[in-house]
Structure 1
Amino acid sequence: MIKRSPFEYHYQFQFLNGQIKDYHITLDPDTLSMVPIASATGKTTEWVRLHFKQCRHCPLQDEGHANCPIAVNLMELVEAFKDLFSYHDCMVVCHTAERTYSKQTSIMEGLSAIFGIIMATSDCPVMEFLKPMARFHLPFATIEETTVRTASMYLLAQYFKSRNQSEMRCDFKALEEHYSRVQVVNEGLLERIHGVTREDADINAIVTLHSLSQFLSMEIDYSLSGLAYIFAGRYMD
């Protein structure tokens, strides 16, 4: 069996006043789950409790789940940015083992990138299907890039499933249902942190992700027609 190293992402926010905020994310190479942050272990902030404004239709029950797994992993980040406005500019740098990404952008866009990977890898059953995308995390992705990655990952997953299920039909109905549930999680998280933050950086980062999930649901519903131009006359036999 191949021994894989953990997947690591180091985000750094560089502000105009010289202030720097660092945030490290580590994924278990086998489960693709986020490795808990040591500084968050043992904390019992009220808004991370499972039953604090719990998402509609949350599949988690009391047994072994005192806290919302996403909220626990977001806790440190929400606290660090709760006093910042989403529209403020900064340089956001993301270091991975393979390459470094950087962009002069708003705090909101930088936070959306981090929130996306944390939400996908925090062992929330609703978000579990997004772990393969988190493994190939692309910071600052455009809507079109995200649509291509989402559809491609989904179809690749269907391919692996179909190898053992010869009668399996491949369509996007299940993916559309997944994103409908993701929108419920986004709404639940917004309810959780609304009273925690004093400014809007954290909230608008999740609003951005929520808008993206709504767009993806709409695009899937229209059979990905927005991507058809890429393949016009270029289909591979």
Structure 2
Amino acid sequence: MHEPLQVSYLLQFDTGQPASCLFELGIAPQPQAEEPPSWARLDYKQCRNCPLKASEQTWCPFASEVARVLTPLVQHHSYDALTVTIHWRGRVIEQRSTLQRVLGSLIGFVGATCGCPRTRPFLPLAFVHQPFSEADETLFRVVGAYLIGQVLRANRGLSTDFMLSELPELYGHLRQVNLGMANRLRSLSDSDHGVNGVIVLDILASQTQDLFEALEDNLLPYYGAYLD
């Protein structure tokens, strides 16, 4: 069995205190040392498409993990400039960015790994996490991960969807979750970085959806060898 994959993001801010912040996140959520804030309760601005019941569990899995990321950043703003150093799969990525752009990447990873039923299908994207991914890269990863899932289903005698007909619905659920998370975070008065990070993430989801609608036009140029 392989060791669980972990990614670390070191944020070094140009100004303000604290000057740096380190996040170490794994494919599986880690137990929380402290109780999440009240806005992370499942019944607080619960997503419209959430299948979970507040009578059965207290905390929203996604909001609880987002809170873990946002809490150390409460003194910062979405436009704060920084240098981020990412350690992932033996690689080191360093980039100049803003807090909201980094949070878009971080929250995307957290969403896929938190255990939310609506984001759980995107866990394979965390396995091949691509910080600051563009929409065309995300499209390739999403479609590839989905088709591998269909191969695994076929190998187990389950129904399959090799024509990708159900993928738009999964993306629709994902965007409803992004909307729900943004609504939660808008109710906070201490900073704007969380909601803007979710907006950055959802813009990527929207762009990926648009590319998916013209899938062949976007990917066909690279697949000539498969069509000979």
Which residue is equivalent to 2:211?
Answer: 219
Q: Which runs of 5+ in 1 are unaligned?
A: 28-32
Which residue is equivalent to 1:75?
Answer: 67
Distance 1:230 1:68 in 2: 41
2:225 to 216, 224, 234: 234
Tell me the percent identity: 25
- In the TM superposition, what is the alpha-carbon distance from 1:76 to its structure 2 partner? 2.5
Residues 33-182 of structure 1 correspond to what in structure 2 (within 5 A)?
33-38=28-33, 40=34, 43-165=35-157, 168-182=160-174
What's the CA shift string for 1:158-193, capped at 9, x where partnerless?
A: 122223449745112211100000011001001111
Distance 1:47 1:167 in 2: 39
- In the TM superposition, what is the alpha-carbon distance from 1:97 to its structure 2 partner? 4.2
Q: Which runs of 5+ in 2 are unaligned?
A: none
Distance 1:169 1:48 in 2: 34
1:17 aligns with 2:15: yes
CA contact (8 A) 2:182 2:195 kept: yes
How many correspondences in the alignment? 226
Mark the CA change 1:21 to 1:218 in structure 2 (over 3 Å): closer, same or farther: same
- In the TM superposition, what is the alpha-carbon distance from 1:235 to its structure 2 partner? 2.3
Distance 1:224 1:79 in 2: 42
Aligned to 2:78, the other structure's residue is in SS state coil
What's the CA shift string for 1:113-162, capped at 9, x where partnerless?
A: 11011111111000110111111211111221111111111112112222
Distance 1:225 1:82 in 2: 43
Which residue is equivalent to 1:30?
Answer: none
- Look up the equivalent residue of 1:218 and give its one-letter code: D
Which segment is superposed worse, 189-198 or 166-175?
A: 166-175
Q: Over aligned residues, Cα RMSD in angstroms?
A: 2.1
Distance 1:63 1:25 in 2: 29
Aligned to 1:133, the other structure's residue is in SS state helix
1:193 to 185, 190, 203: 185
Aligned to 2:94, the other structure's residue is in SS state strand
Q: TM-score, normalised by structure 2?
A: 0.90
